[in-house]
Amino acid sequence: MLPSRYLVDFSLSSLPRRVADYVIVGTGIAGLYTALKAAPHGRVILITKGPLEESSTEYAQGGIAAAVGEEDSPALHMRDTLEAGDGLSDVPAVQVMVNEGPDCVMELVALGTEFDHVDGHLALTREGAHRAPRVLHARGDATGDEIRRALSNHVTQIPGIEILEHTFMIDVLTHDRECLGVLVRDADGKLQAVLARATVLATGGAGQLYMHTTNPLVATGDGMAAAYRAGATLRDLEFVQFHPTVLWHSASPRFLISEAVRGEGAILRNSRGERFMPRYHPLADLAPRDVVARAIVHQMREHHSQCVYLDARSLCHGSMSSRFPGITSTLRKLGYDPEKELIPVSPAAHYCMGGIRTDLWGRTGLRRLYACGEVACVGVHGANRLASNSLLEGLVFGRRIAAVLRKEPPLSPGPWDLVHRADRRPAGDPATIRRQLQQIMWECAGIVRCEEGLREALREIAALSRQLGGQLDNAYQWEVANLLQLGALVVRAALLRKESRGAHFRSDHPEKCDHHWRVHLAFRGGCAPLREPVLVEG
């Protein structure tokens, strides 16, 4: 019997099985592109826990960054990426991304992605911390959806790719630190094993850890948590990016207003109507996201307000509607006219810089297990992601993974005696536990952190984990278990890092300390959920 690390009861020998050359979990840009590139080399099973089109990629408004302009270069793109990463970006990973990125973007064009053009040339804009226009966009502010459309059209037409929608990946199956595939609950509610010579996790991030987030409901960190339970290493978890400009509106979900709006000239004002960002950074409203988010929080506290305001009125008349049709339409439906009035905004959780530690080819350290996209931590983003680098990262490292998958030998027939019996304690109310976790993370491990709050968060998360119990029978409960596990690890990492760097700000350690803390913190998995993690770096 294996150590108690799986979430459900199962016996591999009695489960129905699907077998492929490659199983890819996740249908955002990273998963779709990897599947497309892997398909010529073997049969692919592509798994998504919702419909094919549901992923964080669909919500990406701003665009995809790549040095394709005449006045730009990979070296300039690298400079901006490293500066945003605040000393923790891995230089070789950034070099790979900025140099291979333009070819990947041009391949998207060849696959039918319809980026916006001006006078016959690709339209390029700026976003925060970019010193040159290098962000490609589509349909104004629907870049992610357009890329997903183009990739999905191709993936669904390839006979060698089988797509399993509404299929929840519960755990990564392993034997002797070798990945065999994944354990899933299929669309009919039945458990089955999907076995493959190589498994790729492209499951996205964990924005649902927080009470306020731009992420869809599916972003519950399933891939990170499952890989950790399987024995993979998670790195840089303390670095969670909070997007500065998210619509503050009590009667609606948290709607992101793209940084590209500021790139086109919009500015931030406080509750008194004063422009404030020039006080905080030379790049003013286009400063790195962590700087802008903290500046907003500071202004809200100083003036006892619940939000600040985005002023897009200075944009040329009608340009807001034409450049950002989706954002403008949504705002008007909610009662705001961005061309005539200020828009209330405040920060919300947006992106996980940390994730499953990988090398430059997506390898995780567990044989046959790979990861790319937001679920992975190859080292590109460091302590703070440069705007619009996320889609590019998924492309570049997805293509690299596909290049080495073919080298994996066939999976041996076993025997594998995988039998697991889960903890049978009755489960508490997962909806209540999830809401409480999100509030704890927002208040204690959010934009501003301190030791007292982080220690209290650890105690409360441990108590919530005991309440959840071990008899987990459905996807919602599995998501909550994954969020609890990741929440505890994020808090532990934030507690260990006694400095402020990038997206991680400690009010009790407000200065950056390169001498002691220009290091990565990583936890090796392979133990039961929420057992004390093993620190392997730092």
Report the catalytic residues.
289
Classify the C-alpha dihedral 392-87-227-401 as positive or negative.
positive
User: Treating both helix axes as pointing N-terminal to C-terminal, what angle do 222-230 and 475-496 enclose, rounded to 10 degrees?
Assistant: 80
What is the rounded CA–CA span in Å between residue 242 and residue 253?
A: 16
3-state secondary structure of 50: coil
3-state secondary structure of 358: coil
DSSP codes joined into one string, 258-307: -HHHHHTT-EEE-TTS-B-GGGT-TTGGGS-HHHHHHHHHHHHHHTT-S-
DSSP letter assigned to residue 426: P
User: Letter for the amino acid at 348?
Assistant: A
Comparing CA positions, the residue from 144, 205, 219 lying closest to residue 374 is 205
> What H or E segment, with its residue span, contains residue 109?
helix 91-110
What are the φ and ψ backbone dihedral angles of 172, each rounded to 5 degrees?
-90, 125
Longest dimension (CA), the chain: 70
Cα distances from 282 to residues 128, 285, 287, in angstroms, run: 12, 9, 7
Instruction: Give the tokens for residue 348.
Output: 């919300």
Q: How far apart are the first and last CA of the chain?
A: 33
Comparing CA positions, the residue from 390, 500, 520 lying closest to residue 450 is 500
Cα distances from 289 to residues 241, 286, 412, 452, in angstroms, run: 7, 8, 47, 25
Count CB-CB contacts under 10 A for residue 119: 5
Q: Omega into 415 within 30° of 0, i.e. cis? A: yes
User: Letter for the amino acid at 271?
Assistant: S
DSSP letter assigned to residue 256: B
- 422 within 8 A of 166, measured Cβ to Cβ: no
- 339 within 8 A of 321, measured Cβ to Cβ: yes
